[in-house]
Structures are given as structure tokens and as C-alpha cells.
Amino acid sequence: MKITKIEVQKHHKDRYSIYLDDEYAFPVAESVLIQFVLAKGQELTEAEVTKIKNADNNAKAYSRALDYLSHQLRSVKEVKNDLYDKDYSTPVIQNVIAKLKTLNYLDDENFTRSLIRTDIRIAKKGPRTIAGKLRQKGIDAPMIDMAMADEYPLETQVDNALAWVEKLSQHTGGKSFFALQQKIKQNLLQKGFDMDVIKAALDAADLQKDSRDEQDALTKAGDKLWRRYATLPQGKQKIKQTLYRKGFAIDDIQHYLDEKAEADA
């Protein structure tokens, strides 16, 4: 078989169409064209054509991987999954991954440390959440533990948790002081902080109960319950129990109920 024409593809300037014996045969990347020194008039065997096609498949997979990596750092697992999604074979993917590692375009340790630093600085996530994210991206536990120990010391964890405490404490939402503290703890647990870090952050924040805010919250919650249960049998007991579960002090609840009963008398 003889190469009778080589032309640049109209919509892909870095790819070429190869014609054998005056008929279109296959496309190749520019790198493959150079690698095999393809030229018009060159004779090719079936084995050589197969070799060229395989090389082009590798080149396309490599190009896809570079494009995927151009947007942000990726883990080895992420690149593999992307190439599998594009139907590349395991041997091709293995070749691409090996090449990317050799060129330092793929480095799971660097990826791990970068992600940790970003999530600490930008999202202020807790270590458990960050570790879970890394596991999903194929990073093993020893690498996560090592990087986390270096990049996210306990002091920084407390600082980030404290920042969340200060932000969340600004929005009481009509809750009792006790309920607000519980909400903050639950929120920080969901963000991936450990309880000892949360307690340290709460101690550092030194939140103080504001008597007026507490009374306003009790009145708001109590009035809502009063409208619903006051006229029912055992209704006042139901109100008392519900307010107590919401974290209000029993003496404050009783004072509220006495005032409501007196007002309705």
C-alpha cells in the first residue's frame, strides 16, 4: 500500500488524513506523522498501518488527558476514569498515565496537598470531609494521613472551626442559647471537624447568653405553641415539655406560662 495523499483536516489543524492507493484510509495526529516520518509515495505494510493506528490512538488519548488536566489538577484515578469514559482501552490508558507521571503532569501527592490547602483556605472544611473527598478521588489513606498532618495542624483546624462558630452564632434563628450551641456543633460535625476541635473552638469563641435574646426567642416559640395547644387537655404541659426540649430554662418557661395564663384570665 502506498501513501498517495496527506492533507490537513479541515476542522482539526493538528490532525492529518492519510490516503492509501488514492482512497482515504485513516487519520493521524501531527506527532504520529512526525514519529513515523510519513510522506507521500511511502509504502506501508499491514503491520505498519496497524502500528501507526495504535500510535495515533495513544496520541488521541494523551491529548484528551492533557485537555482534562488543563482545567485543574487531577488525581490519577480521575484521569483514568475520564479516559475509560471515552472508551480507551486499559493498555492505552496505562501508557498515557505512565507518560504523564514521567513528565510530572500527574502526581497524586502534589494533588493531595494542593486540594487540602485549597479546602483549608477557601472552603474552611474540616479534615474528615477533606479526607473523604480525597478517598473518592483514589488517594490512599497513608498519603492522606501524611499530607493532612503536614498541611492541616490542629491549631489551623481550631482556627477554621472558630471562624464558623463566629459566623453561625450571628444567626440565632429564634433558638435558645442551648439550641444554638447544639446547632453549631452539628453544623461543624457535618463540615468534617472532630468534636474535640469543635469544643476548643466554642471555648475560644466564649459565646455569652443574651438574656433579652433568650426571652425573645422563648416568647416567639412559646406563642406559637400556645396558639396550637393552650386550649387542649394537657396543652400547657405539652408546651412546657416542648420548650424544655428546645433548650429553654425551666424557670423561664414557667414564668412565661404564668404570664400567659394571667393574661388570658
Pairing of strands 15-20, 3-8: antiparallel
Domain containing 170: what range?
154-209
Tally of structural domains, the chain: 4
What is the structure's pLDDT at 265?
Answer: 58
| 12 shares its domain with 94 | yes
| 122 shares its domain with 192 | no
Domain's final residue, options 39, 73, 102? 102
| 28 shares its domain with 118 | no
CB distance 31 to 7 below 8 Å: no
CB distance 197 to 158 below 8 Å: yes
Q: What does the pLDDT look like over 119-130, one tens digit per residue?
A: 999 999 999 999
What is the structure's pLDDT at 210?
Answer: 67
Please report, for the domain that includes residue 246, its CATH number. 1.10.10
Please report, for the domain that includes residue 172, its CATH number. 1.10.10.10
> pTM (2 decimals)?
0.77
Q: What does the pLDDT look like over 31-62, one tens digit per residue?
A: 999 999 999 999 999 999 999 999 999 999 99
